[in-house]
Chain A
């Protein structure tokens, strides 16, 4: 016989009385674990997507309706190319790279493709107008990255266009083609093709991205402007912002600078998923509150009822030599047992729900996060302890003379 044995035998004798409070803890922990897991992995997924997109901010014509980041520049509306210079001249903190774009539909191998004019980064250096100013700001705010002078060096290979959204070098007679275009036109790097009656050499074939970029043909911006007689205009300017500036003042500053343009961030583009993540984050706080209130109240109620039922037993144990401290431990350990069972089963259930629903609802692959589970279990045990403390203290303060009374 020992304390653990005493508690276990009592629990086993009357399991139904404990069922409600265990269930309350179990459901609270399960909901917390499931929601937090899905939220964390969904946030990581969005973060990964943002990272792969590279650009943080889009400058678009005012009337453009934004549906998808990858097709944001397919609008027939245009902006003056001079906006690029305006942004550079303003020397706004956080601007790292700019990528103005002009899109037109043309045909390659008898199939429609999007010819997208882009400005290689080398052009920013050669343009006389921009040589007179510091091209890219070093005034990073709240940035942990070391600042560097001028345009930063990125992966210079043409294939990096798929992820970095910019290209270092692109001659007027060169094109970079998407994976789908390469497939249906049988074009490879180094081969040539005709667009608008002019010969272009394929500089590179981009890796497949699963986006509309796979059906694009990228050429020099000024070549596209010349071939289409569009003039010095663009459909969109991608701004690669740095660190917190991009999420902070950069967007309002750009909007103020370019009142005839629409300035949006990637977070707005993926606003639905970001919104869902935010909602789920708030939900997890709500569920945690439910765990505290319902689980705690249930445990407090159960242990209080248990103390009332066992008053004479407590009195007898005291008559036999149990100290008030031991009586208190007896009820607290019982509450911890309920809390532990509820928390462990709840964590397992929550994980299963997160793994199944995470892939179905949020399209993310969920794996267990030990720290999150530890926090959930720890919280459940803390709630249980606090809830059981007063009933356990009441039990420890019972009059041992109750052993003589017929209760």
Chain B
């Protein structure tokens, strides 16, 4: 489903080239639950950005469902991102001046869904994550766990097949963390693909495949314990 072919992404810093990410070939199958672990600065965020169609590689191609993500126009790439990919952020990235309901409505609006339908679907999604009674609360009126659940509802708004998560449990208390990971398990059962960057060994252990990133290069690992020890 997702295939990275001879990808290389580098930055120039004071006349020195720093390789942020590179791989000869990497395939992530449909329905896979992949955890990306590695030290800070190892290229995890660059990897997510490349997968999300937000950072074009210097060389190589990113294929999703057999189509090259960066060989299309910006508007077409934006449309594919909107339809296929959902993001989960460590700091939730909720729009602070919108209510929980409105935050979930944003991707639906961007996808051109009519207002009434936006409202119905956003309400249903918030009910699914246990926030039916917090529809009109703004992010500052919600706990961190509740904010992440609103963010998860927003991620699911356009029913994405791929979920890219950046440290989704990094700012959560144990109860909220467990709730988020349970929802991720549920997403996998629904047939979605999850690529999750994490420093949390427990969260990485819930995945079915771990990829360790070191100095921008992927080291495939099937052992959750190895990944956990690296992260620690």
- Return the chain A residue nearest B49 by Cβ: A401
- Chain A 1-43: CB-based contact to B (< 8 A → 1; otherwise 0): 1110110011011100000000000000000000000000000
Of B45, B91, B96, B105, the residue contacting A401 (CB under 8 A) is B45
Complex contact B81–A319 (CB within 8 A): yes
Distance of A11 from chain B, by nearest CB (Å):
9
List, in ascending order, chain A residues with CB within 8 A of B93's CB. Answer: 312-313, 316, 403
Which one of B64-72, B106-114, B187-195, B216-224 is at the interface?
A: B106-114
Complex contact A1–B106 (CB within 8 A): yes
Of B91, B95, B109, the residue contacting A406 (CB under 8 A) is B91
Chain B residues 56 to 100 lying within 8 A of chain A, measured CB to CB, are: 74-75, 78-79, 81-83, 87, 89-91, 93, 95-98
Complex contact A1–B87 (CB within 8 A): no
Q: List 6 A-B contacts (CB under 8 A).
A: A5-B102, A313-B96, A319-B52, A320-B154, A326-B110, A404-B45
B-side interface residues toward A, CB under 8 Å? 45, 48-49, 52, 54-55, 74-75, 78-79, 81-83, 87, 89-91, 93, 95-98, 102, 105-111, 115, 118, 154, 158, 166
In the complex, the 10 A-B pairs of residues with the closest C-beta atoms, listed nearest first: A321-B82, A13-B97, A1-B105, A321-B110, A1-B109, A400-B54, A316-B93, A320-B107, A401-B49, A404-B45
- Return the chain A residue nearest B101 by Cβ: A1
Complex contact B74–A319 (CB within 8 A): no
What's the dominant secondary structure at chain B's contact region?
helix
Q: How far is the CA of A343 from the CA of B98 in the complex (A)?
A: 28
Complex contact B95–A318 (CB within 8 A): no
A-side interface residues toward B, CB under 8 Å? 1-3, 5-6, 9-10, 12-14, 312-313, 316-324, 326, 399-401, 403-404, 406
Q: How far is the CA of A122 from the CA of B160 in the complex (A)?
A: 99
List, in ascending order, chain B residues with CB within 8 A of A321's CB. Answer: 78-79, 81-83, 107, 110-111, 158
What's the dominant secondary structure at chain A's contact region?
helix
Q: Given known contacts A9-B102, A403-B87, is B95 in contact with A322 (CB within 8 Å)?
A: no
Q: How far is the CA of A326 from the CA of B96 in the complex (A)?
A: 19
List, in ascending order, chain B residues with CB within 8 A of A6's CB. Answer: 98, 106, 109
